[in-house]
Amino acid sequence: MIDIALILGAYLAGSLSAAIITCRLMGLPDPRTQGSGNPGATNVMRVGGKKPAAITLAGDAVKGLLPVLLAQALGVSEAVLALTALAAFLGHLYPVFFGFKGGKGVATAFGALIGLAWPVALGLLGVWLLMARVFHISSLAALTAASLSPLFMWWLRPQPELIAVSVVISVMLIWRHRSNIRQLLDGSEKSP
């Protein structure tokens, strides 16, 4: 019963859109109607600047992190821990509170990874920062980090359940960035 409650609670936490809530509280336009239309930190930066983007980024990461930390504190199995992380991530992608139309999930996935395996998250943050610094394209940095996530998990925290959830999250992150991939390939992708 606790396992099901954790997974459901993680999904509901993930369904809270930090971008939409932040923009409403700060009197900014709904990020789903502006810029790229994505309710995420990069688009919030386009719509409102650095401060609301930072709040959005932190909020999205925290909603991935807290359910995983709670599950760990309750001593659940690795499988339930992995499913809790996945549920928070899926809540961000398909939020029940916002018509199942969510963001791409990078910050929420990162928050969940901090809880699952902070060395993996730290390594992927390094990859993201390096790619962002060199190429100045957030989506390219995210795609590179997502692609390397299962490898980092296999190397630093080789638990089958955690590797499996890392693969699922990575594939979904890449899928959610398919329009960015097309723009990268045709040269039209821009920095925020």
Place of tokens 């995420």: 40
157: alpha, beta or left? (left if phi > 0; alpha if psi -120 to 50): beta
Give the per-residue pLDDT at 192: 60
pLDDT in tens, 58-106: 999 999 999 999 999 999 999 999 999 999 999 999 999 999 999 999 9
> Distance (Å, rounded) from C-alpha 53 to C-alpha 50?
5
Domain residue limits, the chain: 2-186
User: Measured between alpha carbons, how far is residue 110 from residues 48, 54, 119, 174 in Å?
Assistant: 23, 14, 11, 14
Q: How far apart are CA 151 and CA 120, in angstroms?
A: 9
> What pLDDT score was predicted for residue 189?
85
Provide mean pLDDT across the span 146-164.
97
More confident residue, 191 or 32: 32
Q: In the chain, what is the straight-line distance between the N-terminal and C-terminal CA atoms, in Å?
A: 43
Output the pLDDT for position 146: 97
Kindly indicate the confidence band of residue 16, based on its pLDDT and cuts at 50, 70 and 90: very high
Helix (H) or strand (E) holding 103: none
How far is Cα of residue 21 from the mean position of the Cα atoms in its chain?
16
pLDDT of residue 191: 67
Q: What is the mean pLDDT of residues 179-189?
A: 92
